[in-house]
Amino acid sequence: MSTLAIDKAGPSRKIKYGSMSRDRAWALRWSYFFLVLFAIFFLTPPIYMLITSLKSSAEISAATNPWWVFHPTLSNYVELLTSNQFLRFFWNSSIVSLAVVLVTMLISVPAAFALARMKFWGSTTLATGVFLTYLIPDSLLFIPLFKMLALVQDYTGITLLNRWYVLLFIYPTLTVPFCTWIMIGYFASIPKELDEAALIDGASWLQTLTRIFIPVALPGLIAATIFAFTVSWAQFLYPLVFTTSVDQLVLPVGITTTLIKGDVFNWGQIMTGALLGAAPPLIIYAFLMDYYIAGLTAGATKG
Amino acid sequence: MADVVVEQGQAVRAARARKPASLRNVLGRKSTVAFFLTLPLILLIALLVLYPAVYSVHLATLNKSMQKFVGFGNFLFLFKRDTFWMVVKQSCIFAVTAVFFKALIGFIVAHFVHNIPAKGQRKWRGMLLVPWVIPPAMSTLAWLWLFDPSYSAFNYTLSFFGIGPINWLGDNVWARFSVILVNIWYGAPFFMIMYLAALKSVPDQLYEAAAIDGANWWQKIWYVTLPMMRNIIAITALFSLIVTFANFDIVRILTSGGPLDQTHIFATWAFKVGIEGSDIPLGASVSLFMVPILAVAAIFILRDVSKRGNEA
């Protein structure tokens, strides 16, 4: 009976008795082929940035092969790195991003600890609310925030618009929800026995947080820090709306508004500026890739 | 069970702490500590997210000088304008097309990366994630330069294949294509990373079983990979839908909405009307139109997240 069934099933579908290893080798070759194609697509803009940044204005406007540098020069870099304006942008961006990272951590780590471990009235609702806040985009809030800042200025006389430090209040709205969310995930994955042991030994809640949770969840903390830094460094809409004077601008806005003068595009300098602006996140990424990716995937998988 | 144990430890501590002054007792109580730990977060969200969100609804009901209440006047005004409907259409086309191709390219690339030996995967993954790492404002400048009409590197390259100069950002159709292309370029690596993580979690036995049953590569993807990754595909796509729908940087830098407002999406048009045109109420009304789609996506994401929260 069983042999009959096998005989019946046998010829009904074509089985290719090819070499499995040969199939594997071909699949591998195709994989590499397509990966190279996609890598070209993904890496063309940054590489083209680098190519253009090494060219002089004369070479850029000459109708030569745009993909090759015939007379490499560092003049664009020298010019930008000695320009007070550009250094000012860089300085503003660095201060803002670093301060925002600090503020974000000070707000989100304690909150995540409380939400992950200390069940209290409304804690689950609050955790869900934090996650929902993360889904509210900047492009929904920039107009009311602009008006609010103007009103604060009218009523209290504190100048907030057109000052770089206003970004220190605004950026955390982008970074804190996500950082809190992934820290809740990391804290929740710490075994309960650890903090029970600490509590039995007489540690206060704050001691539990600083002595046990922060050291154990350090990878998550690093991932959150990287996230907060890259988000603040890349933010474009808020500084574009809230700051206008040249000495108050951060890098992305500074490059797009001051290096493009009317219809005159000084592409060599723009590309150099863009590359220098992209450098800090790229360097962090190069050295801490695993943390970067952990933070990226944690948002959707750790929850 | 574990909760009970914590409560017991808590009780022991509370009993010991009963002797000192009652203020210290209150301060040491779990709910008080928790309140103070979450207070900055609550304040931040309430003042700088919730309040502005409600405030923008209020703003949307005022007239241009913000002196008079006009009710739905701004919305009715928008409904009568062709530009508004163009923005709605373009936003939807932009978001849906971009998310679809991001998901598709991300899936394909993740598959190829997953296919190659584990040794080289790290290197490739690192290289392919670069577009996501560069601040979009910076990389869009590079695209702007690649699209440049007179010295465009793209047109230079295409001329070798006999394809005439394309007006990438000046022509209606091409401008729409360009902004979507840049968005795909920027977002596809994120999908790649998410899908790669998901692919790694699919047990090998399933593929072996499928192979023994005689499934070809397509059947393996369709009947094994996709069902196993369904959740992560859905949640990543919804996330991306929100971000793409609310995108600002790319369109703003690449075309500023031009030619003839053809590439405007909600965020850039709201910026143009509200900040540049200093009609704040109208700008607020425009951006409020993002809410329904964002809300629907958020509800689905939330359902998925809480479902997984319960499983864990």
Rg of chain A in Å (alpha carbons) = 27
B296 touches chain A (CB under 8 A): no
Distance from CA of A286 to the nearest CA of B (A): 8
In a shared domain, residues B21 and B122: no
In a shared domain, residues B114 and B236: yes
In a shared domain, residues B168 and B286: yes
B291 touches chain A (CB under 8 A): yes
Distance from CA of B64 to the nearest CA of A (A): 13
Pick the CATH number of A79-301 from 1.10.3720.10, 3.40.50.9100, 1.20.58.60, 3.40.50.170: 1.10.3720.10
B242 touches chain A (CB under 8 A): yes
Q: What is the dihedral of CA B254, A169, A139, A271, to 10 degrees?
A: 10
**pLDDT tens-digit map of A230-253:** 889 989 989 988 888 888 888 888
Name the residue among B133, B131, B113 with its Cα closest to residue B182. B131
Give dist(CA B190, CA A206) in Å, integer. Answer: 36
B-chain CB neighbours of A43 within 8 Å are 127, 130
**How many cross-chain Cβ pairs, A to B, lie less than 8 Å apart?**
304
Q: Check residue B170 and give its pLDDT.
A: 76
B38 touches chain A (CB under 8 A): yes
A1 pLDDT exceeds 70? no
In a shared domain, residues B42 and B96: no
Q: Which residue of A has its CA nearest to B274?
A: A143
User: Mapped to the 3 state alphabet, what secondary structure does chain B carry?
Assistant: CHHHHHHHHHHHHHHHHCCCCHHHHHHHCHHHHHHHHHHHHHHHHHHHHHHHHHHHHHHCCECCCCCCECCCHHHHHHHCCHHHHHHHHHHHHHHHHHHHHHHHHHHHHHHHHHHCCHHHHHHHHHHHCHHHHCCHHHHHHHHHHHCCCCCCHHHHHHHCCCCCCCCCCCCHHHHHHHHHHHHHHHHHHHHHHHHHHHHHCCCHHHHHHHHHCCCCHHHHHHHHHHHHHHHHHHHHHHHHHHHHHCCCHHHHHHCCCCCCCCCCCHHHHHHHHHHHCCCHHHHHHHHHCCHHHHHHHHHHHHHHHHHHHHHC
- Contact: B193, A296; criterion CB under 8 Å: yes
* Contact criterion met (CB below 8 Å) for B251 and A139: no
A254 pLDDT exceeds 90? no
The amino acid present at B1, given as its one-letter code, is M
Window 7-46 of A, Cβ < 8 Å to B: 13, 15, 27-28, 31-32, 34-35, 38-39, 41-46
B290 touches chain A (CB under 8 A): yes
DSSP assigned state of A37: H
Q: Which of A145-149, B156-160, B211-215, B218-222 has the highest mean pLDDT?
A: A145-149
A265 touches chain B (CB under 8 A): yes
Domain count across chain B: 2
Least confident range of A10-24, A72-86, A110-124, A276-290: A10-24
Can you give the residue range of the structural domain that contains B307? 73-311
Task: Write down the domain spans for chain A.
Answer: 19-73, 79-301
Among B10, B29, B59, the domain boundary falls at B59
**pLDDT tens-digit map of B279-296:** 888 888 888 888 888 888
pLDDT band at B27 (very low <50, low <70, confident <90, very high): low
In a shared domain, residues B79 and B43: no
Q: Which residue of A has its CA nearest to B58?
A: A144
* Contact criterion met (CB below 8 Å) for A111 and A129: no
Residue B65 lies in a domain: no
* Contact criterion met (CB below 8 Å) for A81 and A70: no
Distance from CA of B180 to the nearest CA of A (A): 14
- Contact: A146, B31; criterion CB under 8 Å: no
**pLDDT tens-digit map of B48-96:** 888 988 888 888 888 777 777 777 777 888 888 888 888 888 888 888 8
Q: Check residue A32 and give its pLDDT.
A: 85
Mean pLDDT (whole number) for A108-121: 85
Element (H, E) at A202: none
Residue with tokens 């017991």: B8
In a shared domain, residues B24 and B89: no
In a shared domain, residues B110 and B256: yes
In a shared domain, residues B151 and B42: no
Mean pLDDT across chain A, nearest whole number?
A: 82
In a shared domain, residues B41 and B86: no
Name the residue among B156, B155, B81, B131 with its Cα closest to residue B250. B131
Least confident range of A10-14, A214-218, A277-281, B234-238: A10-14
Strand partners, B62: B69
A-chain CB neighbours of B270 within 8 Å are 139, 143
pLDDT band at A300 (very low <50, low <70, confident <90, very high): low
- Contact: A192, B6; criterion CB under 8 Å: yes
Q: Check residue A18 and give its pLDDT.
A: 58
Window 163-222 of B, Cβ < 8 Å to A: 185, 188-190, 193-194, 197, 214, 217
Window 71-90 of A, Cβ < 8 Å to B: none
A190 touches chain B (CB under 8 A): no
Q: What percent of chain A has pLDDT over 90?
A: 9
**pLDDT tens-digit map of A134-185:** 888 888 888 888 888 888 888 887 777 888 888 888 899 988 988 888 888 8
Distance from CA of A230 to the nearest CA of B (A): 8
pLDDT band at A262 (very low <50, low <70, confident <90, very high): low
Mean pLDDT (whole number) for A194-222: 85
pLDDT band at A64 (very low <50, low <70, confident <90, very high): confident
**pLDDT tens-digit map of A11-51:** 455 555 556 667 777 878 888 888 888 888 899 899 988 88
Whole-model pTM: value is 0.83
Q: Is A129 helix (H, G, I), strand (E, B) or coil?
A: helix
- Contact: A118, B56; criterion CB under 8 Å: no
B196 pLDDT exceeds 60? yes
In a shared domain, residues B215 and B267: yes
Distance from CA of B28 to the nearest CA of A (A): 8
Distance from CA of A118 to the nearest CA of B (A): 7
In a shared domain, residues B115 and B26: no
- Contact: A39, B128; criterion CB under 8 Å: yes
Residue B217 lies in a domain: yes
Does B38 or B29 have the greater pLDDT score? B38
A296 touches chain B (CB under 8 A): yes
B22 pLDDT exceeds 70? no
Query: Which of A20, A36, A42, A212 is the best mutation test for B, with the most CBs of B within 10 A?
Result: A42
- Contact: B274, A52; criterion CB under 8 Å: no
Q: Which residue of B has its CA nearest to A150?
A: B280
The minimal CB distance from A133 to the residues B45, B128, B146 is found for B45
Tell me the CATH number at B152.
1.10.3720.10
pLDDT band at B182 (very low <50, low <70, confident <90, very high): very high
Query: What ipTM, to 2 d.p.?
Result: 0.82
Q: Check residue A214 and give its pLDDT.
A: 87
Mean pLDDT (whole number) for B294-307: 78
